[in-house]
């Protein structure tokens, strides 16, 4: 901090810092009023800087705990996530000799590697099995090619019985025939560097094989679909929140205090109930034998055979998420609307604008900062939600976060989860940037 402050100040004090130059100038400088001196004879600028440095240091010390907290709990995990999304040290660490020996092997040859590579693999695996690490390598490589996991597990059990004095290749192929498969070796070679783009490729529905990088078959693509769905559904949810929240926020800002306080409690009520309870309540309401369908059938709007599918699809996700995120739209809108004096609309009307024109041309533009804040909040929260989509979204209403959660807690493919998370982060930053370009980020007001 102190260093940085100095660096920033450097140009300003340069003539003084350069002692000879300043001294040479001193005689005539004082004649024509040159560098001003403080009472004790030091140049005023130096003395000012010294005084301010102390202030700056104190300010820094005051913010240091928070800064440390943020670094430790926010920046560091994000950094760790970014690192994990490209990190691939396990292959090189567990199979160092094999990786080295594979350097000369060309998968295009169509032949499995020769004896030296197998000998290196034997040495590596002996160590790895002792440390119980061979199964971890198998796990890692299994993400790229199904079946490698059991190749390593099986071979791990056989390694003690192998005879290093005999040719090892046949023994390995005997342990698992996949060792004779070029594809197995190609995957090991491809993922032997310490860093990989494999997770990011997978996260973008791409794969790298003998033909190079290309998109997966249409039927196997999933993440691009999910990213697109996450964005579009989040946009729809944000739009719904705005549509429903705007009038409510207006009422809140314009009703007499007693009524508006009551309304505010109703708006905040969802916050006082657990997310799971709220989501389950929506299930009861929306399912086909649920309250809403029963009601519609009861009043004869739809017949019993054609009950509406309101849940376990995108509709369910949109309804439940809109409900959950509504307060995040209403609160910033309300606090901005509270600051718009009623005289603006009156002025517009007195100038001849009808209700709609007065609203659209005078009131609405002044609430844009609130809309911006609410929309950003809703959108970013929606993009990261996964519990609600999981419970009410069925298959067509789930988000990318559901896959991230899956890879974190079920498949344990943390590298892929990190890559997906990083892409989501990049996406949010890109949208933020676009918002700044289009609307301007100063145009966001939370109150």
Partner 1 sequence: MNLKTMLGLGAAAAVSAAGWAAMAEDMPPCENCANEMTIVSWGGAYQESQRKAYVEPYKAMNPGVNVIWDESSAEAVAKMRAMAEAGNITWDVVDVVASDAIRLCDEGLAMPIDPDTQLAPAPDGTPASVDFGDLLVTECFIPQIVYSTAVGYRTDMVSEPPTSICAIFDLEKYPGKRALEKRPIGNLEWALYCDGVAKEDIYDVLETEEGQARAFAKLDTIKDHVIWWTAGAETPQLLADGEVVMGSTYNGRLFALIAEQKQPVGMLWDMQVFDLDGWVIPAGLPEDRKNRALHFVRFATDTQRLADQAKYIAYGPARKSSAPLVGKHAELGIDMAPHMPTNPDNAKNTLLYNYEWWADYRDDLDAKFQAWLSQ
Partner 2 sequence: MTSADDAFVVFDHVQKSYDGETLVVKDLNLNIGRGEFLTMLGPSGSGKTTCLMMLAGFETATHGDILLDGRPINSVPPHKRGIGMVFQNYALFPHMTVAENLAFPLEVRKMGRAQIEEKVARALDMVQMSDFASRRPAQLSGGQQQRIAVARALVFDPPLVLMDEPLGALDKQLREQMQFEIKHIHERLGVTVVYVTHDQSEALTMSDRIAVFNDGRIQQLDDPATLYEKPMNSFVAQFIGENNKLDATVEAVEGELCLVRFDNGETARALAVNIAGPGSRTRLSIRPERVEIGAKPDFNSVEARVLELIYLGDHIRCRMEVHGNTDFIVKVPNASEHAALTVGEVTTLSWRPEDCRALDAE
| Cβ neighbour number for residue 228 with a 10 Å cutoff | 11
Contacted by 346, from partner 1, partner 2, none: CB < 5 to 8 Å by type = partner 2
Residue with smaller CB distance to partner 1, 2 or 412: 412
Residue span binding partner 2 (CB under 8 A) among the ranges 4-12, 355-363, 390-398, 424-432: 355-363
Residue in the structure block whose two tokens are 């693999």: 121
Binding to partner 2 by residue 343, rule CB under 8 A? yes
Cβ proximity of 301 and 307 under 8 Å: no
Shortest Å distance, C-beta 222 to partner 1? 4
Binding to partner 2 by residue 440, rule CB under 8 A? no
Helix-then-strand count for the chain, H and E: 23, 2
213 CA to centre of own chain:
25
Residue with smaller CB distance to partner 2, 170 or 342: 342
CA-to-CA distance for 86 and 195, rounded, in angstroms? 5
Residue span binding partner 1 (CB under 8 A) among the ranges 37-45, 119-127, 283-291, 340-348: 283-291
Contacted by 353, from partner 1, partner 2, none: CB < 5 to 8 Å by type = partner 2
User: Quick one: which of 344, 359, 414, 432 contacts partner 2 (CB under 8 A)?
Assistant: 344
CA-to-CA distance for 52 and 46, rounded, in angstroms? 10
> Per the structure block, which two tokens stand in for 392?
């009410």
Contacted by 85, from partner 2, partner 1, none: CB < 5 to 8 Å by type = none
What is the phi/psi pair of residue 162, to 5°?
-75, 150
| Cβ neighbour number for residue 34 with a 10 Å cutoff | 15
User: Quick one: which of 346, 429, 434, 436 contacts partner 2 (CB under 8 A)?
Assistant: 346
> Per the structure block, which two tokens stand in for 343?
């005289």
CA-to-CA distance for 189 and 104, rounded, in angstroms? 10
Helix, coil or strand: residue 209: strand
Question: Does an H or E element contain 214, and which?
Answer: strand 212-215
Binding to partner 2 by residue 366, rule CB under 8 A? yes
Contacted by 146, from partner 1, partner 2, none: CB < 5 to 8 Å by type = partner 1
Binding to partner 2 by residue 110, rule CB under 8 A? no
Nearest to 417 by CA among 426, 408, 428, 429: 408
CA-to-CA distance for 374 and 56, rounded, in angstroms? 35
Binding to partner 2 by residue 365, rule CB under 8 A? yes
Binding to partner 1 by residue 230, rule CB under 8 A? no
Question: Where in 379-418 is the site for partner 1 (CB under 8 A)?
Answer: 390, 394-396, 398, 403, 406, 408-414
> Per the structure block, which two tokens stand in for 107?
């998968």
CA-to-CA distance for 245 and 263, rounded, in angstroms? 12
Shortest Å distance, C-beta 348 to partner 2? 7
Binding to partner 1 by residue 142, rule CB under 8 A? yes
Binding to partner 1 by residue 289, rule CB under 8 A? yes
Residue span binding partner 1 (CB under 8 A) among the ranges 36-44, 141-149, 248-256, 259-267: 141-149
Shortest Å distance, C-beta 411 to partner 1? 6
Tallying the residues shown for the chain, one arrives at 447
Query: Euclidean distance between the first and final Cα of the chain, in Å?
Result: 32
Residue with smaller CB distance to partner 1, 27 or 146: 146
Binding to partner 2 by residue 350, rule CB under 8 A? yes
> Rule CB under 8 A: which residues touch partner 2?
341, 343-344, 346-355, 357-358, 361-362, 365-366
> Rule CB under 8 A: which residues touch partner 1?
131-133, 135-136, 138-139, 142-143, 146-150, 153, 219-222, 225-226, 229, 287-290, 312, 390, 394-396, 398, 403, 406, 408-414
């Amino acid at each position: 901090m102190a260093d940085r402050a100095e660096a920033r100040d450097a140009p300003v004090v340069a003539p003084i810092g350069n002692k000879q130059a300043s001294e040479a100038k001193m005689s005539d400088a004082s004649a024509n009023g040159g560098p001003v001196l403080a009472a004790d004879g030091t140049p005023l600028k130096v003395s000012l800087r010294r005084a301010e440095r102390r202030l700056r240091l104190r300010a820094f010390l005051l913010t240091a705990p928070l800064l440390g907290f943020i670094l430790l709990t926010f920046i560091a995990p994000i950094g760790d996530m970014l690192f994990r999304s490209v990190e691939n040290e396990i292959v090189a660490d567990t199979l160092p000799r094999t990786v080295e020996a594979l350097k000369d092997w060309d998968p295009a040859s169509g032949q499995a590697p020769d004896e030296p590579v197998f000998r290196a693999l034997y040495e590596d695996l002996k160590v790895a099995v002792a440390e119980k690490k061979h199964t971890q390598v198998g796990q890692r490589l299994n993400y790229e090619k199904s079946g490698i996991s059991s190749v390593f597990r099986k071979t791990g059990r056989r390694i003690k019985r192998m005879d290093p004095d005999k040719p090892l290749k046949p023994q390995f192929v005997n342990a698992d025939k996949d060792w004779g498969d070029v594809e197995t070796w190609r995957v090991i070679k491809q993922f032997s560097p310490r860093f990989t783009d494999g997770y990011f490729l997978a996260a973008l529905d791409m794969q790298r094989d003998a033909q190079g990088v290309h998109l997966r078959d249409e039927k196997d693509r999933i993440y691009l679909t999910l990213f697109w769905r996450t964005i579009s559904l989040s946009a729809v949810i944000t739009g719904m929140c705005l549509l429903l929240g705007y009038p409510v926020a207006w009422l809140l800002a314009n009703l007499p205090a007693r009524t508006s306080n009551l309304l505010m409690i109703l708006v905040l009520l969802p916050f006082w109930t657990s997310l799971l309870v709220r989501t389950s309540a929506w299930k009861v309401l929306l399912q086909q034998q649920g309250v809403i369908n029963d009601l519609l059938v009861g009043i004869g709007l739809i017949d019993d055979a054609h009950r509406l599918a309101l849940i376990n699809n995108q509709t369910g996700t949109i309804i439940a998420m809109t409900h959950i995120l509504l307060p995040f739209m209403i609160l910033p809108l309300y606090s901005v609307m509270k600051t718009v004096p009623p005289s603006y609309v009156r002025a517009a009307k007195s100038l001849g604008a009808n209700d709609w024109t007065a609203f659209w041309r005078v009131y609405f533009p002044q609430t844009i900062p609130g809309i911006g804040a609410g929309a950003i909040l809703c959108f970013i929260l929606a993009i990261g939600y996964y519990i609600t989509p999981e419970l009410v979204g069925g298959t067509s209403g789930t988000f990318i976060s559901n896959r991230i959660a899956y890879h974190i807690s079920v498949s344990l493919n943390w590298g892929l989860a990190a890559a997906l998370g990083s892409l989501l982060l990049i996406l949010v930053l890109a949208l933020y940037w676009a918002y700044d370009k289009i609307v301007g980020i100063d145009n966001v007001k939370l109150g």
